[in-house]
Chain A
Amino acid sequence: MQRPLKFLNHKIEENALDMTYNPVENTGSVIYNLSLIKSEDTESAIKIFKDAYATGLCVSDRVIFAPSGTKIEGFTIPEGYCGICTLCSLILDSLLYQKGINVNPIGGGLVEVEKLIPRRFTAIIQYEYTTVDPITVMISQGSTSIGDVIESGSGTITGNIRECHMESESAVFEVLDDLIAAGFTGVLDVGAPNTELLGVPVNTNYQGIAMIGGTNPIAAFKETGRWAEVQSMKGLMDISNFSLISDY
């Protein structure tokens, strides 16, 4: 008997129950994305990651570049490929759930950036309506221009948005502060209560929080015409496996 497909909101909620990350102590498991690139492209990928980080287009300063043969949670990086693990921006949603905050993850899509300031979402797919990660398909489709943002400050990146009840604003900011202290740099914008954020409306008495998509640097790499395969929300892994981008 086939079971009905899981939609993204189901997956996000399941992750929230399983993730054990504690940003204050920087311990526990985090949600990660796994991308594959060709081994010979590793050096140029590292350079693009550093540029993307310097421009503020990474969710966090942690990353893993895993050469072929490396085992990542039961998956072996195939011969001729390099695996890249990045932190998933949905870690924020999991932490918000765990703190008892009323959070509704809304969806993911494309964000227009002008002179390094996020201006508006230009495309969005709501999590409740999709079984495939919106950001991953939009990257595969080639809808981003992250390279332009790195070069000139203007272009299209990927991002996602959730809303929290305004009553929990101080608790939300505690979580955001903890994350920033733990090297998370991916918060795009926090909206005022009852006010749309980057063109996306919120429910009554809710406020929006927009994050950068964790796979933006891979998308920037893919824009250069090289091969890459992105799998977002691949699973959970201990944060201690990750290194700093600057270590590569």
Chain B
Amino acid sequence: MSFIRSERKCVEILRILKEHQEPIGAKRLSELMSEHGFTLTDRAVQYYLSYLDEMGFTKKIGNHGRVLTSAGIAETERALVDERIGYVISKLERLAFKSNFNPETGKGNVAYNLSCLPESQVDDAIRAFDEVINEKISFFSSYKIIDDDPRIPEGQTGIITVCNITMDGILQNHGIPIKMTFGGTMAVADRKPTGFVNLIGYRGTTVDPLILFINAGHTSIDKVIKTGNGVVLAIVREVPDAAVPTVNNIADAMKEYGFMFPIATGSGIYNVRADPYRTSIIAYSGMNLIGHAVEKGLDIRTELGAGNIPFSIFE
């Protein structure tokens, strides 16, 4: 029987392995592949796995199954450029759907980002994070230090921050159609946001806009904290005009629990082009915490949308 290897399937296997922290066996992989819409026999999965082993993307851990190698992780970030366009957000949408935080009761799950940095830098990171929170240029007013997650490398500490996608999830749960439009950099003058400097639309990129802006040195969060003037990260979402009162009610209820959004809602505000029937919701990004740590020279790595977690861990 002739067999045509599909790059798409190879990458899906790599993505599944990437999403799991523990080794996965061929049988389980075949089940997970079929849940993702790719039907493969166990034998075909074996074939793919031996090919991926040969390429150096996966490796066997005894009889437990396979894990990704660092080359395998890199491949998931490089292969299939066309279908990774917009993937940043479709990956986060999964977490939005599972964010069932209830603004009335303060119970339920939120989506989080996981940052890791050397233990010796944790105190500096805490200082950097707190300054951003005190300046009220974040999405949420707290974070959580953890050290018992298998994703945290040896000698490092993890910090969990609330991901802005939580807001999308909660609004979705209230039946509001919400579009994740832009990530951008916002100019701040006299401690007030004045307008976006740059925007990148989530639907047209394979790389996360906010991480890109941080790494390319487009932020000056520390300057905002010190002088009240500079550039910070902010996001744009769009909802139907009729949903605005509900959005404001939810945002008010969430402020009680330490959420800090939105900056503003409106059409054609802060240099964002207007949609005739949708209102933009503009909010500071939780990534300002991370951006500030990077500006301080800390060696911090962040996985966006690392999972969902009960809100109670922040209380």
Contacts and interface: CB of A to CB of B under 8 A. Distances in A.
A202 to B, nearest CB: 10
B81 interface: yes
B215 interface: yes
A231 interface: no
Nearest to B78: A122
A152 to B, nearest CB: 17
Most buried by B among A126, A129, A142: A129
Contacts of B213: 137
Interface of A is mostly: mixed
A140 B217 CA distance: 7
Contact of A130 (B79, B84, B195, B201): B201
B200 interface: yes
Contacts of A141: 212, 215-216
Given A107-B204, A129-B201, A132-B198, A137 B85 contact: no
Interface size of B as a range = 20 to 34
Contacts of B205: 124-126, 129-130, 134
Contacts of B77: 122
A210 B198 CA distance: 25
A107 B204 CA distance: 9
Interface residues of A, number: 32
Given A4-B268, A124-B205, A125-B206, A109 B81 contact: yes
A137 B199 CA distance: 12
B270 to A, nearest CB: 7
Contact of B196 (A5, A122, A124, A125): A5
Contact of B200 (A3, A131, A142, A199): A131
Given A2-B271, A130-B199, A137-B212, A125 B81 contact: no
Contacts of A123: 78, 81, 84, 206-207
B123 interface: no
B81 A129 contact: no
Contacts of A136: 216
A131 B212 contact: no
Interface of B: 77-82, 84-85, 184, 195-196, 198-207, 212-213, 215-218, 268, 270-274
List 6 tightest A-B contacts by C-beta distance, closest first: A129-B204, A129-B201, A126-B204, A140-B216, A4-B273, A122-B78
Interface of A: 2-5, 7, 107, 109, 112, 120-126, 128-132, 134, 136-138, 140-142, 196, 198-201
Given A130-B199, A141-B216, A200-B82, 5 more contacts: A4-B273, A109-B81, A123-B207, A131-B196, A137-B218
